[in-house]
Amino acid sequence: MTDIREDITKTAKDAAYVAIGLGVMTFQRAQVRRRELVDLAKQQLPTLEAPLTEARSEINRRVKEFDGQVQGLVSKFEQRVQPVEQRLPAPAQAVIGQAREAGEQLRQYILSALAA
């Protein structure tokens, strides 16, 4: 009876050691693969940098162009709405002012996010 228990205990210990060993080997293999991927990325980065810089510049140019067009439309809209806005009660004018301010903050946030 004790021999069976000893055999089971020994087998369980051996299985645990094998599992731990496999885990350590897998972890080491993953680290080696990670280092290989980092090295590969470092090699590829210089070839990708110029096209990415060019693409960023083009995106920034188009965003500024689009923003200019939107600002023109907003100005025209505000010119047409201003006479109506002036006839509204003060609380309504305050709400419109807050909406205008929130819109400008959103515009600045979007521009800064796209420029980053």
Please state the pTM of the whole predicted model. 0.48
Please tell me the predicted confidence (pLDDT) of residue 116. Answer: 66
- Phi first, then psi, for residue 89 (nearest 5°) are -65, 160
Please give the structure tokens belonging to residue 80.
Answer: 């047409």
Structure tokens at 94: 């305050």
pLDDT, tens digit, 9 for 90 and up, residues 35-76: 999 988 888 877 877 888 888 888 888 888 888 888 888 888
* pLDDT tens digits for range 71-95: 888 888 888 888 888 888 988 888 8
Q: What pLDDT is stored for residue 41 in this prediction? A: 85
